[in-house]
Amino acid sequence: MTSRFNNSSARLLIASLLVSLVTACGGGGKESANSNGTTALLQTTATSYTGPITGFGSVVINGMRFATVGSSIADDDGIALNSSNLRLGSIVHVEGMSDNVASGTAGTIVVTPALLGTVDSVDASNTFLTVMGRKVSVNASTNYYNAATGLYATLAAITTGSYVEVHGLIQADGSFLATLIERRTAQAAYRMRGQITNLDAVSKTFVMGALIVNYSTAAITGVLANNAWVKIQAATAPAAGVLSATAILTQTAQVSGGAIGLTTGVASNGVVKLKGVATGTPIANIITLAGVNVSLANALYQGGTAAAIVAGTTLEVKGAWNGSTLQATLVEFEGYRATNLNGGAAYELYGAVTAFTSNSNLVVQGVTVNASSVTGFPASIAVGTYLEIKGNMTAGVLTAMTAKYTAANTGVIVGGGHGDDGSGDDNHGGGTFQTNSYEINGVVSGYVSLSDFIVNGVRVNASAAFFEHGGTVSNDRFVEAKGSTNASGIFIATKIEVK
């Protein structure tokens, strides 16, 4: 195998290790109106967020709703992807501009899975599985996706021998807390990331999890050392407890204090937002989160206190980076946003209905939704109707807790909700997404003209759209578009990208 690692790959490893850095700088967003029609904050902060995706119709991550049309999407090997490759629970690293409150525009999105390989065993009763010798814990927040069916699924879809892509947060014992497990159809490659132990330079081996990694014929970027974070590529599955690496990317730019994933050129006092699992209780107001030292001395808390932080506590931390430690200004406990800002909902969808059987079986942004328990939800919902859904995943279906929708023939948003504009970050308000502004993606069909074609069953008019990177719309072309639904149920694109 030819190694794909390069300087760009080294930078992408940073994201996979859940270190998010935001360098404050000038600039501005292209939009300035929020869903209430008032002036919103401009996108003037260069932003870098890392964590699991919790919403679509744009991409929602760590409470920030990022517009993605025109952005570069790739995996951490540098292989180009598009927005249809993203799932609820995918760990991604987003760099772009934001208003530092609720809304942003992504420049790059890097998908950073933890593992790619075969399942050794599944222990459903104890809620964990083993993938290539690595323990993967699952809980009620873990999503499952079956690539063969194109549907979200349950743990039952993951069996011994399944070839899977695991996304998750690294824990103190080196295992992963899964946010997404996707069952893939083709065993094309194997990937693993973590920390080196028991390095033996003579035999050219080290230990990761329950595996011995043989690197005797691997292309190595960086210097191998015990406790170094690495990403491993292999062409074949482990055999007899040994993984034969073809390429290894190491984190070579270690800094004092044990922080990982930091390279030269990162500005001091840059704003940081990261999600991770604490490795222990605070000691002298310091914790380690995703390998980063975090000072809690001046932090405000949402959903808990410093005394509640123990090994295994999942947190989102925002603050300023001083070169060796994240100086936290805000610490948010897992579940706080869902409980206090989203009415108990962990996930959110914005978009047109692309398939409809009943109120208990409809599809928005590729996710099957059950809205049957939403008070006042009309029976007149049809393909093309714009919805804003907030709810929780249960058995592969998003059970809606609240829903806003366009009233028939009016284009006016009505229905239940919290009166906000969508996701919202720390203050859950403002933002640049206007009422019913959202993004769609898919393969073009039924092309008549630029003002009349279909994407996922939704009729689109892109005659006045701005084209990112040029391109021509035609049947069978994949497109990503931003816009809104008019009173006739037609998606009026304001921006479009042809892939």
Q: Where are the domains of the chain?
A: 1-184+260-341, 191-250, 344-415, 437-498
Contacts of 356 (CB under 8 A, 6+ apart): 362, 363, 381, 382, 383
Overall pTM surpassing 0.95 (yes/no): no
Residues facing 230 on adjacent strands: 194, 250
pLDDT of 407 reads 65
Q: Is 462 helix (H, G, I), strand (E, B) or coil?
A: coil
Question: What is the Cα 120 distance to its own chain's centre?
Answer: 26
CA distance 88 to 107: 20
CA distance 387 to 381: 9
E-state strands within 62-113? 64-67, 72-75, 91-98, 103-111
Q: Tokens 């630029």 correspond to what residue? A: 450
Q: What 8-state DSSP symbol labels residue 15?
A: H
The string of DSSP codes covering 275-310 is EEEB-S--BTTEEEETTEEEE-TT-EEESS-GGG--
CA distance 346 to 341: 10
Residue 222: exposure state from Cβ atoms within 10 A (0-12, 13-18, ≥19): middle
pLDDT of 425 reads 41
Q: What 8-state DSSP symbol labels residue 226?
A: T
Phi and psi angles of residue 390, each rounded to the nearest 5 degrees, phi first: -130, 130
Residue type, 121: S
Give the number of other CB atoms < 10 A from CB of residue 449.
10
Residues of the chain with pLDDT under 70: 1-41, 251-271, 291, 407-413, 415-435
Q: Does domain 344-415 have CATH number 2.40.50.140?
A: yes
Closest to 36 measured CA to CA, from 401, 408, 424:
424
CA distance 374 to 359: 9
Do 476 and 442 touch, CB atoms closer than 8 A? no
Relative to beta strand 143-146, strand 151-152 is antiparallel
Phi and psi angles of residue 258, each rounded to the nearest 5 degrees, phi first: 85, 0
pLDDT digits (tens, 9 = 90+) for 340-389: 888 789 999 999 999 999 999 999 999 999 999 998 888 878 888 899 99
Do 87 and 184 touch, CB atoms closer than 8 A? no
